């Protein structure tokens, strides 16, 4: 199995919304009004698509809050999180 695509969910001050960006292309895949809307109910999992991916979630301050892998069964067992 190849490496999972990597994404970052971070606050976009210019648009006053939360953007899910593809780390490889630096393009927004999807935008959300609030971080809560982005992280509840499987929304991120649907946004990264069927092939899954790794999503790093940032705080408004820019620091990383957590990292999630979708689907969960693809999470590397050696990760600390």
- In order, the DSSP letters of 17-59 are EEEEEETTTTEEEEEESSHHHHHSTTHHHHHH-TT-EEEEEE-
CA distances from 52 to 18, 21, 63, 73 (A): 20, 14, 23, 10
Q: From the centroid of its chain, how far is CA 70?
A: 9
Indicate whether 71 pLDDT > 80: no
Residue bearing the bigger pLDDT, 75 or 8: 8
**pLDDT at 41 (0 to 100):** 87
Confidence at 3, pLDDT banded by 50, 70, 90? confident
List the one residue out of 72, 78, 69 whose CA is nearest residue 6: 69
Residue bearing the bigger pLDDT, 14 or 73: 14
Q: What is the pLDDT of residues 11-67, one digit of tens each?
A: 999 999 999 999 999 999 999 999 999 999 889 989 988 888 999 999 999 999 999
């Amino acid at each position: 199995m190849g490496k999972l695509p990597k994404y970052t969910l971070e606050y976009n001050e210019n648009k006053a919304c939360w953007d899910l960006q593809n780390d490889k292309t630096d393009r927004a895949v999807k935008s959300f009004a609030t971080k809560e809307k982005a992280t509840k109910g499987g929304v991120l999992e649907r946004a990264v698509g069927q092939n899954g991916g790794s999503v790093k979630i940032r705080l408004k301050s820019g620091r990383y809050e957590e990292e999630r892998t979708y689907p969960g069964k693809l999470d590397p067992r050696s990760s600390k999180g």
